[in-house]
């Protein structure tokens, strides 16, 4: 369940240890309830790397079918610890979706130490319902929040005219998608709403309705993945779509050897009394989660005010990031700003720190990097939407560059000062947009840009 660059590098960039120490002072014993992370015990890079390594090892065990429910619970615990420690750098919607998917899959996974494909403890209807409800909540929320945001570009269908070049990390096909005529952008926007708002109701329907919903959602996820980079978000959503497919359809597409093993008659065993009681408790918890999650979703839309007990319960469950509201691009960004970090020894000649994935050189083609999630590249996109002082991690990042911190320098594709750190660093602000077809034909560039001035004034050690 871990992915991409080890979180310890982002820990160094954002000085998470300092924040946790402050939280320890102000929160006292409540810190575990509000910020559940192993970093309270082990606040070090080595501990974060160890959690990542354990996550990989337990993921392999889960893939091999060893004690699935225990593996899911351990993975949820480890990733929650990393998300809390990673703060801004692991606070994306796909991070909480991964947490919620792991927790909701507990009732879907078979029990036992090594259940195999023909498990004698198959998923219950409620376990299957939880996973399907999560997919419904993800898609339906993503559509509704766009319409309830008040953003006119979603209402008039023009949002995709901006999306392909203003999204955080466009892919190489985004430039071509942006060249589509206006009517095609409008139609694509309306089809997206149909998939996000109408098709999710098929999640709870009969076989045919579920297949149509799965096909439409999968098509949308593939198109998003072809034009943008969203880490493992699209892949995880595709995995959730599998829960919509019935066994007969899967039997026709999976290898016959797997089908035969899965269809083997399980050994019937009488469940111990404690296991039955645990199952009953799990059922009650699952029903409560469905009710609480549904109320929170309606509250997020502004359609219902949370009852006091539900609001209080939401406050208790919130720190565990496993009962969430979703909705990417609630408000469409209609411009693109880019931050270029530069260093200098004399204040006259400035050299750039180049990140691997975000736009910089106009001649460099946008690239695919999924399912890897370049967290710093993403955060630079968010930072450009507001002033530098609003980003609690940005000034510390500049300070680490002045110190020549290796773990932070490793986040950049190019270090313009390989021998020693610069004496000064600054950040320059640019306005970017995709090059026109005429500009591409004339000079081969992918981007057109204009300097706007300083984002962050020069600073020294």
Convert the pLDDT of each residue in 133-171 to its tens digit. Answer: 999 999 999 999 999 998 999 999 999 999 999 999 999
The predicted-structure confidence for 310-334, as pLDDT tens digits, reads as follows: 999 998 889 999 998 888 888 999 9
The predicted-structure confidence for 359-399, as pLDDT tens digits, reads as follows: 999 999 999 988 888 999 999 999 999 998 888 899 999 99
Please state the separation of Cα 362 from the chain's center in Å. 27
Of the pLDDT bands very low, low, confident and very high (cuts 50, 70, 90), residue 10 is very low
* Maximal C-alpha separation, the chain: 79
Helix axes 125-148, 182-193, angle to 10 degrees: 140
Query: Are the beta carbons of 3 and 37 closer than 8 angstroms?
Result: no
Residue 73's pLDDT is 95
Rounded CA separation 94/91 (Å): 8
Of the pLDDT bands very low, low, confident and very high (cuts 50, 70, 90), residue 262 is low
Of the pLDDT bands very low, low, confident and very high (cuts 50, 70, 90), residue 265 is low
When mean pLDDT is compared across 42-56, 280-294, 305-319, 434-448, the lowest value belongs to 280-294
Residue 325's pLDDT is 86
273, 271, 270, 317: which is closest to 295 by C-alpha? 317
**Over 80: is that where the pLDDT of 274 sits?**
no
The predicted-structure confidence for 70-112, as pLDDT tens digits, reads as follows: 999 999 999 999 999 988 899 899 999 999 999 999 988 887 7
Q: Where are the domains of the chain?
A: 1-91, 117-333, 336-460
pTM of the model: 0.89
Tell me how far CA of residue 220 lies from CA of 125, 198, 306, in angstroms. Answer: 27, 13, 32
């Amino acid at each position: 369940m871990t992915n991409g660059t080890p979180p310890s590098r982002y820990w160094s960039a954002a000085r998470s240890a300092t924040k946790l120490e402050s939280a320890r002072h102000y929160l006292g014993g409540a810190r575990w309830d509000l910020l559940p992370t192993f970093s309270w015990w082990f606040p070090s890079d080595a501990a974060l790397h160890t959690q990542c390594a354990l996550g990989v090892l337990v993921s392999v065990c889960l893939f091999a079918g060893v004690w699935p429910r225990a593996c899911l619970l351990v993975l949820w615990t480890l990733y929650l610890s990393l998300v809390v420690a990673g703060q801004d750098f692991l606070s994306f919607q796909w991070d909480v979706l991964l947490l919620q998917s792991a927790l909701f899959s507990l009732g879907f996974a078979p029990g036992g130490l090594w259940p195999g494909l023909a498990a004698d403890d198959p998923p219950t209807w409620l376990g299957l319902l939880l996973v399907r409800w999560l997919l419904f909540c993800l898609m339906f929320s993503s559509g509704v929040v766009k319409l309830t945001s008040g953003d006119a570009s979603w209402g008039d269908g023009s949002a995709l005219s901006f999306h392909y070049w203003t999204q955080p990390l466009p892919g190489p096909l985004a430039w071509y998608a942006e060249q589509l005529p206006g009517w095609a952008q409008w139609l694509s926007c309306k089809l997206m709403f149909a998939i996000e708002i109408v098709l999710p109701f098929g999640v709870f329907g009969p076989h045919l309705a579920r297949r149509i919903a799965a096909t439409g959602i999968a098509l949308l996820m593939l198109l998003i993945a072809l034009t943008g980079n969203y880490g493992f978000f699209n892949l995880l959503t595709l995995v959730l779509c599998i829960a919509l497919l019935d066994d007969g359809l899967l039997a026709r597409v999976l290898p016959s050897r797997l089908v035969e093993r899965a269809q083997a008659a399980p050994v019937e065993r009488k469940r111990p009394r404690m296991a039955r009681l645990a199952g009953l408790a799990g059922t009650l918890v699952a029903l409560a989660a469905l009710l609480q999650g549904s109320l929170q979703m309606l509250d997020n839309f502004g359609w219902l005010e949370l009852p006091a007990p539900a609001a209080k319960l939401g406050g208790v469950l919130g720190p565990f990031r496993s009962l969430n509201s979703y909705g990417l691009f609630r408000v469409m960004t209609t411009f693109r700003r880019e931050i270029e970090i530069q260093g200098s020894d004399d204040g006259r000649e400035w050299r750039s720190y180049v990140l691997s994935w975000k736009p910089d050189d106009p001649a460099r083609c946008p690239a695919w990097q999924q399912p890897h999630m370049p967290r710093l590249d993403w955060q630079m996109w968010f930072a450009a939407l507001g002033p530098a002082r609003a980003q609690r991690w940005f000034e510390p990042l500049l300070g680490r560059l002045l110190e020549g911190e290796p773990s932070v320098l490793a986040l950049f594709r190019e270090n313009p000062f390989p021998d020693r750190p610069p004496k000064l660093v600054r950040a320059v602000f640019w306005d970017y947009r995709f090059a026109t077809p005429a500009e591409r034909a004339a000079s081969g560039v992918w981007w057109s840009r204009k300097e706007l001035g300083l984002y962050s004034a020069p600073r020294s050690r």
